[in-house]
Structure 1
Amino acid sequence: MAKKQRLDKVLAHLGYGSRKEINRLCKGGLVTVDGEVIKSSSTHVDTENSIIKVGDEEINYREFVYLMMNKPDGVISATEDSRHQTVVDLIDAEYRSFDVFPVGRLDIDTEGFLLLTNDGKLAHRLLSPKKHVPKTYYAHVEGKVTETDIEAFKRGVTLDDGYETKPGELTILKSDTVSEIKLTIYEGKFHQVKRMFEAVDKKVVYLKRISMGNLKLDENLELGEYRELTEAELEILVNS
């Protein structure tokens, strides 16, 4: 049986205005459901099977949205902030109307894969420590990263507060005065990648998340750009 929802809630969710403004649209005869003019904005409608139009525009309703963003440096992973630009500030009003939020956090100076959604259940599952969802990062690290570091990360390292991390998978791409690495971790402690390298006396000078779960960042997304996940990508993420 299809779930019915109030018309004003549906249209407000899609950014057609406040409930008061939507009520005015209805009273003005501008909203139709299956060809019938709906004067009451409190009418319950079947969003899955009915054709709902505002003026000549047919709405495309969905309960949840899933956005992949290539987060830029200098923007914080939050919905609002009085001092800094947030990732939500970077997205269009049509998506902000869904009350999306970032799934987890990337530091202000960290770039890369960030998921924004209004699906709280999926967010909780991806962030749950019990699920061990992998997150992979690319980084530049001051100092030569060596096989000794690979072994240390494989065992888990002790952070500055005494916490012992779960094993991480460190891959050396280039070992030099500034090394290039990939690191996969299965938890999300505060500043974890940076603190793991500090534990082996090295410093991360550039950090980018390149995947979450089994889903990789779209390399065509420029910094600050985002797009909706495809159904196939959502399936990959759900099954991570």
Structure 2
Amino acid sequence: MSEKLQKVLARVGLGSRRYMEEVIAAGRVSINGRVAQVGERIEPGDELRIDGRKVQFQIEDEIRRRVLIYYKPEGEICSRNDPEQRPTVFEQLPAIANDRWVMVGRLDINSTGLLLFTNDGELANRLMHPSNEIEREYAVRVMGEVTPQIKNNMLQGVVLDDGPAKFESFAEIGGDGINRWYQVVVKEGRNREVRRIFESQGLKVSRLLRTRYGTVILPRELRTGRWMELDKADIDNLTKSVELKPRQGTGLFGMAKRRTERMQEKPMAARRGGYLRQQRRDSEEGENQSPMAYAQRDRRENQNGYAQRRDSNGNSYGQRERRDGNNGNGFTPRGERRQDSNSNTYAQRESRQGNSYAQRENRPDNFGNQATYGQRERRDENAPRKPFGNKSFKKF
């Protein structure tokens, strides 16, 4: 049982397959002490080194196959890194030792629902390839009326910018008024395919939720923003649909199995994305208010530049009264000192009995001796001291 060298190096995480081919061609990789060639195959017992350093690896068939399902919320993008620093779906996935998660298909930033992740690159490739015709099922909320003619057009096929497209099945599942829900199935994973099919008929999709990918159905107990790992039976059904052999050791064990059982009994709370929701709230507020309403706030600035809220009578909340009584109410401008009725500065205090305000009076202690306030009485150095700790304490 062997595997191509560049594929093994890429799966270990040293770089892409194309980059690994360049590293191999440069003579930096050796197998059992000899320089390797591009396209060479490697066996499980071979010694693999790159730049003289030994690389631990496993043949793909020996690695335990794992599959995650993730309920994607709005506002997350299907990418490992985003230049705009938006949240990504990979940030919420569990870490996987000496391996990586491969995403199966994509959902745009406005769409929600089922996403599959696996550590088996071959399984991910077969699930996404159009030749295997893996079904993707969506629940779609459409704004507008879907007439029998429009429904027939979408089932027969429409012409998009990248070629013809159609729905394999189309059914109404609820809703009233201008917004109605429909269940549609496609066998391709082209970019925004479902939305573009509806837009070709003059309809607008306001919500899109993926509910099934192949044999995997979005579970009811899985909440938005949460993930769940599939057990052996579900993974074997998925691999059988794309004609892959099952692997030994596939399935849930130990803590992973108990975690899935707990989630089924008591689902975790939803973790909804807030990026697009906040944008939607801001846009709705902008539509409801005119430009003049934005310009004229219910706040006014005083001479210090601070915004003051006013009640129905026009009075400022929290205004302090001036102490001189001549200037009326209001805040004193910064930098000026307030004066009382005797023209003394506000910060200056009257001295008490000739002593400064900060000084405390000497007070007699309990024994009639004159002592400074705050000082502790001095202890007699010759007096016996109490032992440290509690006498009643006993060791176990």
TM-score with structure 2 setting the length: 0.44
The answer on whether the counterparts of 2:158 and 2:165 sit within 8 Å (CA) in structure 1 is yes
In structure 2, the residue matched to 1:125 is 126
- Once the two structures are superposed, residues 74-125 of structure 1 have per-residue CA deviations (whole angstroms, 9 ceiling, x without a partner) of 1111222232211110112x33753112111100111111001121111111
Tell me how far apart the structure 1 counterparts of residues 177 and 146 of structure 2 sit (CA, whole Å).
Answer: 7
In structure 2, the residue matched to 1:173 is 173
In structure 2, the residue matched to 1:31 is none
Distance of aligned partners of 1:179 and 1:98 in 2 relative to their CA distance in 1, 3 Å threshold: same
In structure 2, the residue matched to 1:139 is 140
The answer on whether the counterparts of 2:69 and 2:115 sit within 8 Å (CA) in structure 1 is yes
Distance of aligned partners of 1:204 and 1:96 in 2 relative to their CA distance in 1, 3 Å threshold: farther
1:86 to 69, 85, 88: 88
In structure 2, the residue matched to 1:204 is 205
The answer on whether the counterparts of 2:166 and 2:197 sit within 8 Å (CA) in structure 1 is no
Displaced runs of 4 or more, over 4 A = 41-47
SS of equivalent to 1:130? helix
The answer on whether the counterparts of 1:154 and 1:168 sit within 8 Å (CA) in structure 2 is yes
In structure 1, the residue matched to 2:385 is none
The answer on whether the counterparts of 2:155 and 2:169 sit within 8 Å (CA) in structure 1 is yes
Distance of aligned partners of 1:98 and 1:169 in 2 relative to their CA distance in 1, 3 Å threshold: same
Specify the code of the residue in structure 2 equivalent to 1:218: P
* Shift of residue 158, structure 1, vs aligned partner: 1.7
SS of equivalent to 2:165? coil
The answer on whether the counterparts of 1:101 and 1:116 sit within 8 Å (CA) in structure 2 is yes
* Shift of residue 44, structure 1, vs aligned partner: 7.3
Tell me how far apart the structure 2 counterparts of residues 103 and 46 of structure 1 sit (CA, whole Å).
Answer: 23
Distance of aligned partners of 1:181 and 1:90 in 2 relative to their CA distance in 1, 3 Å threshold: same
* Shift of residue 166, structure 1, vs aligned partner: 4.0
1:109-120 to 2 correspondences below 5 Å: 109-120=110-121
2:163 corresponds to 1:163: yes
SS of equivalent to 2:130? coil
Tell me how far apart the structure 2 counterparts of residues 116 and 46 of structure 1 sit (CA, whole Å).
Answer: 20
In structure 2, the residue matched to 1:193 is 194
Tell me how far apart the structure 1 counterparts of residues 97 and 193 of structure 2 sit (CA, whole Å).
Answer: 29
Tell me how far apart the structure 1 counterparts of residues 98 and 57 of structure 2 sit (CA, whole Å).
Answer: 19
Distance of aligned partners of 1:97 and 1:227 in 2 relative to their CA distance in 1, 3 Å threshold: farther
* Shift of residue 223, structure 1, vs aligned partner: 0.8
Q: Which runs of 5+ in 1 are unaligned?
A: 2-8, 14-40, 48-60
Specify the code of the residue in structure 2 equivalent to 1:163: G
Q: Which runs of 5+ in 2 are unaligned?
A: 2-8, 14-52, 242-396
In structure 2, the residue matched to 1:95 is 96
The answer on whether the counterparts of 2:68 and 2:228 sit within 8 Å (CA) in structure 1 is yes
- Once the two structures are superposed, residues 121-166 of structure 1 have per-residue CA deviations (whole angstroms, 9 ceiling, x without a partner) of 111111111111100000110012233233112211122x162114
Specify the code of the residue in structure 1 equivalent to 2:219: D
SS of equivalent to 1:204? strand
The answer on whether the counterparts of 1:65 and 1:98 sit within 8 Å (CA) in structure 2 is no
SS of equivalent to 2:151? helix
In structure 1, the residue matched to 2:107 is 106
In structure 2, the residue matched to 1:29 is none
SS of equivalent to 2:123? helix
The answer on whether the counterparts of 2:70 and 2:115 sit within 8 Å (CA) in structure 1 is yes
* Shift of residue 169, structure 1, vs aligned partner: 1.1
Specify the code of the residue in structure 1 equivalent to 2:87: Q
Tell me how far apart the structure 2 counterparts of residues 76 and 162 of structure 1 sit (CA, whole Å).
Answer: 23
Tell me how far apart the structure 1 counterparts of residues 162 and 80 of structure 2 sit (CA, whole Å).
Answer: 31
Bigger proportion of residues as strand: 1
* Shift of residue 210, structure 1, vs aligned partner: 0.2
1:23-42 to 2 correspondences below 5 Å: none
The answer on whether the counterparts of 2:102 and 2:124 sit within 8 Å (CA) in structure 1 is no
* Shift of residue 167, structure 1, vs aligned partner: 4.3
* Alignment: residue pair count: 191
Tell me how far apart the structure 2 counterparts of residues 162 and 176 of structure 1 sit (CA, whole Å).
Answer: 33
Higher relative contact order (CA 8 A, sep 6+): 1
* Shift of residue 236, structure 1, vs aligned partner: 2.3
- Once the two structures are superposed, residues 168-208 of structure 1 have per-residue CA deviations (whole angstroms, 9 ceiling, x without a partner) of 31111236411110110011111101000001110000001
Specify the code of the residue in structure 2 equivalent to 1:137: Y
- Once the two structures are superposed, residues 38-61 of structure 1 have per-residue CA deviations (whole angstroms, 9 ceiling, x without a partner) of xxx9697999xxxxxxxxxxxxx9
